[in-house]
Amino acid sequence: MTVSLCGRKVFVRTFGCQMNENDSEHIAGVLLRAGAVRTDRPESADVVIVNTCAVRRKSEEKLYSYLGRLSRLKRKRPFVLGVAGCVAQVRKADLLTKLPFVDVVVGPDGYPDLPELVVRAAEAPEVRTELGPVWREIGAEATARENPWSAFVPVMEGCDNYCAYCIVPFSRGREKFRPLANILAEVRAAAAAGALEIQLLGQNVNAYRDPGSGLGFAGLLDAVAAVPGPAWIRFITSHPKSFGDDIVRAMAASPKVCRALHLPLQSGSTPVLGRMNRGYTCEGYLGLVARLKESVPGTLLTTDIIVGFPGETEDDFQRTCDVLREVRYAGIFSFRYSPRPLTAAADIPDDIPLEVKRRRLVELQALQKTIQVEANRAFVGRDLRVLATGPSPKGAGRFSGRTEGNLVVNFDAPTDPTGRFLTVRITGSGPYSLHGTAV
């Protein structure tokens, strides 16, 4: 059925990871193609879609307080309110019981049907949360990109790893791979539209296998690097378990593949990793890091850490701190463990007291901060290539950008360089960014 949303104003708000940011570009794209127009304020919208994240308890709590605000707005001025993404997929129709002011609940595989769902929901609430067995192709033509110079390109979705703490296999379903030809077509289209950077996306990108030819992630990287145009290729997120030496070689072989890798560790204690069902040991992880540093020199690593997983002893926690000292990550994302519904760990007692989790997180972040202060200082005096991403929150004449290693740089420039490469002379550094002047 083709439906028209002619002239209806849509507002899309995104919580969560890059996969969700890209899905929001699909959501907006599908609605705009049906005739809707964008608005940047929920106050003036006819349709509001909230794309949600379920990964930690806090992510879900943030969502409910935001939805509370929307319900007050809706009392003043009616609109169709849709909840999309991972919370929608996991909570399903229960969301309508809990939040009667919601009109549409739609999981990731339902986005192509959004125009129809929105129109029908104006009459009665709609729930669409079946997960299909194969890749749902939305296509480049229905992607309303946030900006033309950096393009997200999804390559796989879902996850079969079932880490004990993680809700993603339930919110995104089983692993599904996008056909290579469609990925390359989207990369070419993004290149033609001026993309300087391609970010390949998936919950577990390095598990990639082309459904037709069986070509793996290393082959995919080679194929994407062969598309003329984009200067930088990134990919997120990689799992240490399936990060083969062929991928290390593919990184080393192409200067277009950024010397940056997000490689979630979660814990530096092998027994904790075992209970988390991560599929590698601490030694195995460190071996991979050593091979990477040798074959692709200068690679900046980032990671994810969970503190306070059930049974984590002080000694386990210190092992994690040891890994931070050894690897010297350029950045970390660190979280206190929170039990999530449907996961294996939800059945074991969450036995680390909140105070202990808090203290471990503070200690870990303080350690990492000293590492970053030192590491970032080493860039002072150097000229770095930067992709400018927009004005800096710091004020007039200042802009922000990212380096190949994904470090944030704030800099002065005479004219707005947003969406272009430039060289910045680094004059100073802090724990979380570098600063300098365009040369």
340 binds, among ligand F3S, ligand SAH, ligand SF4, none (CB under 5 to 8 A by kind): ligand SAH
Q: Is 24 in the site for ligand F3S (CB under 6 A)?
A: no
Binding-site string for ligand SF4 from residue 173 to residue 212, where x marks contact by CB under 6 A and - marks none: ------------------------------xx--------
Q: Is 168 in the site for ligand SF4 (CB under 6 A)?
A: yes
Q: Is 256 in the site for ligand SAH (CB under 6 A)?
A: no
Residues 6+ apart with CB under 8 A from 149: 194, 195, 196, 197, 387, 419, 420
Residues in the chain: 439
- Residue 196 near residue 149 (C-beta atoms within 8 A): yes
Stretch of 109-117, 227-235, 331-339, 420-428 contacting ligand SAH, by CB under 6 A? 331-339
Identity of the residue numbered 13: R
Distance of CA 298 to the CA centre of its chain: 23
Give CA–CA dist 362/378, Å, rounded: 25
Instruction: Report CA-CA distances (Å) from 87 to 124, 129, 428.
Output: 21, 11, 41
Q: Is 204 in the site for ligand F3S (CB under 6 A)?
A: no
Tell me which residues in 48-67 interact with ligand F3S (CB under 6 A).
53-55
Q: Is 203 in the site for ligand SAH (CB under 6 A)?
A: yes
Q: What's the min distance (Å) between Cβ of 274 and ligand SAH?
A: 16
- Residue 181 near residue 171 (C-beta atoms within 8 A): no
Q: What's the min distance (Å) between Cβ of 105 and ligand SAH?
A: 22
Nearest to 227 by CA among 187, 195, 267, 168: 187
Q: What's the min distance (Å) between Cβ of 437 and ligand F3S?
A: 36
Pick 86 or 96: Cβ nearer ligand F3S: 86
Q: How many CA atoms lie within 13 A of 183 on its CB side?
A: 32
Nearest to 114 by CA among 185, 23, 175, 191: 23
Residue count at the site for ligand SF4 (CB under 6 A)? Answer: 10
Q: Which residues bind ligand SAH (CB under 6 A)?
A: 55-56, 165-166, 168, 203-204, 237, 239, 264, 266, 304, 306, 335, 337-338, 340
Residue ranges that bind ligand SF4, judged by CB under 6 A: 159, 161-163, 166, 168-169, 203-204, 239
